Amino acid sequence: MIDFVSTKRNYALYQEEYEEAALRAFRSGQYILGPEMERFEKEFAAYIGRKDCVALNSGTDALILAVRALGIGPGDEVIVPAGTYIASVLGVTENGAAPVYADSNEYFVMDADRVEKLVTAKTKAILPVHLYGQCCDMDKIMDIAQRHGLYVIEDCAQCHGSAYKGKKAGSFGQISCFSFYPTKPLGALGDAGAVTTDDPELAKKVRMLRNYGSRVKYYNEIIGVNSRMDEVQAAILSVGLKHLEEMNARRIDIGKKYLAGIKNEKLRLPRTSPDSSNVFHVFPVCVEDREDFQQYLEKEGVHTLVHYPVPPYAAECYRDQGHQKGEFPMADYIADHEVSLPIYAGMSGEDVQGVIDVINRY
């Protein structure tokens, strides 16, 4: 059997270091808002090339608190991709703001050429999602934002270490959101997330929001939540960050092997924009008859997933937004035809070749 992802194998890559870091945190007696978290915030901000990083509980919280810290709420609109994971949009709707959808492009990320037409008097921000490991067209998005006075909130949950024209994802716009869900390019051993920013006021605001709305214990200036990254996850993430480039290199190598080795006319292989690197969080292929293809692979012992079968605009929970399936042809095409092949840092070369051979016989 070839797993879609093996978190066990990913763990085994750096097991000793993870365990040493976790024990250090366990034995410190300090579990919340401690030195491990502070250290990770500094390390991650430096890695991304931002002045600050605020460590949080999850990527979803990062999106919710980023939108909240910018003061976006009821009556406001945020332009989001039609094809993405729903958490990108939850950050907007959780604050009572309205998502306005832009279709995906041939690289399966938000089509920057569709964004400007969607700007209205109510638009407050653009929320590009660097989906599957590659970056959106940030020159165009930053230019539109500047000309219309809009904020840019990046969703970098799938692209730790990826870069647009050499500048890292997470270093564009006012604030950028990361998830460290275990299977992400940089993953914790539980839930975790963060925002990065160059704006000290925004960083201060998110720091307050994550801790009940207070800076000084028991003095609450604003209404906050509890969304703190715990010391154990922070210690684990410092280890992961040290090896992130190495883990990304392994996935990029697998991506290259798939692109060179898979020869089957029934498949559309993923394309990467010449302006972006691609850390291949997901390797998305498209096939006409997805059910047949996935069944064949399953029978041959290759596990696959679909990212994602229902685009957010068509999700049941967003029925009241009044959108119909068919409105966003590219996002729909991806939702109906995409299959994600196994790709993860701990994957063996034998498994990679196995996937290629099985697919070439399809």
Cα–Cα distances in Å, from 255 out to 105, 287, 352? 20, 18, 9
227 counts as binding ligand PLP under rule CB under 6 A: no
We find the least distance from the C-beta atom of residue 61 to ligand PLP, in angstroms, to be: 7
How many residues are given for the chain? 362
345 counts as binding ligand PLP under rule CB under 6 A: no
Within 8 A by CB and 6+ apart from 13, the residues are 243, 247, 345, 346
87 counts as binding ligand PLP under rule CB under 6 A: yes
58 counts as binding ligand PLP under rule CB under 6 A: yes
Nearest to ligand PLP of 85, 280 (CB atom): 85
Nearest to ligand PLP of 158, 196 (CB atom): 158
135 counts as binding ligand PLP under rule CB under 6 A: no
CB-closest chain residue to ligand PLP:
59
By CB under 6 A, name the one of 6, 10, 84, 340 that touches ligand PLP.
Answer: 84
Q: How far is CA 58 from the centre of its chain?
A: 11
We find the least distance from the C-beta atom of residue 181 to ligand PLP, in angstroms, to be: 4
59 counts as binding ligand PLP under rule CB under 6 A: yes
276 counts as binding ligand PLP under rule CB under 6 A: no
158 counts as binding ligand PLP under rule CB under 6 A: yes
Could you give the CA distance from residue 59 to residue 88 in angstroms, rounded to a whole number?
9
157 counts as binding ligand PLP under rule CB under 6 A: yes
User: SS3 for 126?
Assistant: strand
Q: What is the 3-state secondary structure (H, E, C) of 191-215?
A: CCEEEEECCHHHHHHHHHHHECCEE
179 counts as binding ligand PLP under rule CB under 6 A: yes
User: SS3 for 44?
Assistant: helix
Could you give the CA distance from residue 69 to residue 35 in angstroms, rounded to a whole number?
24
By CB under 6 A, name the one of 88, 171, 211, 233 that touches ligand PLP.
Answer: 88
- What does the DSSP 8-state code read for residue 185? S
Nearest to ligand PLP of 155, 230 (CB atom): 155
155 counts as binding ligand PLP under rule CB under 6 A: yes
We find the least distance from the C-beta atom of residue 147 to ligand PLP, in angstroms, to be: 26
Nearest to ligand PLP of 70, 188 (CB atom): 188
Nearest to ligand PLP of 80, 239 (CB atom): 80
> Which among 32-40, 150-158, 268-276, 284-292 is the span making contact with ligand PLP, rule CB under 6 A?
150-158
Nearest residue to 328 via CA among 80, 72, 21: 80
We find the least distance from the C-beta atom of residue 129 to ligand PLP, in angstroms, to be: 5
> Which among 79-87, 111-119, 251-259, 320-328 is the span making contact with ligand PLP, rule CB under 6 A?
79-87
To which H or E segment does residue 341 belong? Answer: strand 338-341
129 counts as binding ligand PLP under rule CB under 6 A: yes
Q: Starting at the earlier edge strand, list the strands of the sheet with 52-56.
A: 52-56, 193-197, 175-179, 151-155, 123-126, 77-81, 98-102
Could you give the CA distance from residue 23 to residue 36 in angstroms, rounded to a whole number?
12
Could you give the CA distance from residue 49 to residue 78 in angstroms, rounded to a whole number?
25
We find the least distance from the C-beta atom of residue 91 to ligand PLP, in angstroms, to be: 8
Within 8 A by CB and 6+ apart from 25, the residues are 31, 36, 231, 232, 234, 235
Nearest to ligand PLP of 155, 338 (CB atom): 155
> Which among 6-14, 52-60, 256-264, 310-318 is the span making contact with ligand PLP, rule CB under 6 A?
52-60
Could you give the CA distance from residue 30 to residue 13 in angstroms, rounded to a whole number?
27
We find the least distance from the C-beta atom of residue 79 to ligand PLP, in angstroms, to be: 15
Interaction site with ligand PLP (CB under 6 A):
58-60, 84-85, 87-88, 129, 155, 157-158, 179, 181, 191, 193
